[in-house]
Amino acid sequence: MAILAGIPILGIILMLQLGIISQLPLLQGTADLILLVLVAWALQDQVTSAWEWGILGGVMVSLVTATPFYVVIFSYLLVILIARMARRRIWQMPLLVMLILTFLGTLVFHLVSIVVFQIMGSNLPLRESLTLVTLPSALLNLLLAFPVYTIVADLAKWLYPTELEV
């Protein structure tokens, strides 16, 4: 059920990202709500569908951006892998892990995108790309990390209810 619920949930998140969040840039960077939701989803203990949501979110984002298809999916799955590994090792401080992974995930996504665009022949200056796009995007993502984590944690409790012992 959680995999099927990901389709409308990630679709709504993508619409919010495209319609509202993308209209609120900081310098040239914007927040990535899909990335934040995927990181928060992967950090939930009861969630078993993080990989499926990562692929679904990657496909959705790659359909509406100029970034190559494989870059978005690869970046999101790499961030989910890091989140799942961190969840097992640092399970007592999920909000701190969320903040760290938000920053790392933004860096991973942007660096992979920059490298692929450079290989494809775009002349993107690395310094300007990092200072005008990546770092402002990371700051916006960090500002939204806590509310997104809270909402996703409630969503995970709703989609994966725990059984009560009598």
Residue boundaries of the structural domains of the chain: 2-159
pLDDT tens sequence across 105-145: 999 999 888 888 888 888 878 888 888 999 999 999 999 99
pLDDT at 8: 92
Residue 145: the pLDDT is 93
The percentage of the chain sitting over the pLDDT mark of 90, rounded to a whole number, equals 42
- pTM value is 0.89
Average pLDDT, the chain: 87
Where the chain has pLDDT below 70, the residues are: 1, 91, 163-166
CATH code of the region 2-159:
1.10.1760
Query: How much is the pLDDT for 87?
Result: 78
pLDDT at 163: 65
Burial 42-68 (b: 16+ CB within 10 A, else e): bbbeebebbbebbebbbebbbeeeebb
Please tell me the predicted confidence (pLDDT) of residue 130: 86
Can you give the pLDDT at residue 146? 93
Query: What confidence score (pLDDT) does residue 128 get?
Result: 86
What pLDDT, on the 0 to 100 scale, is given for residue 35?
Answer: 93
Dist CA 29 CA 137 (whole Å): 4
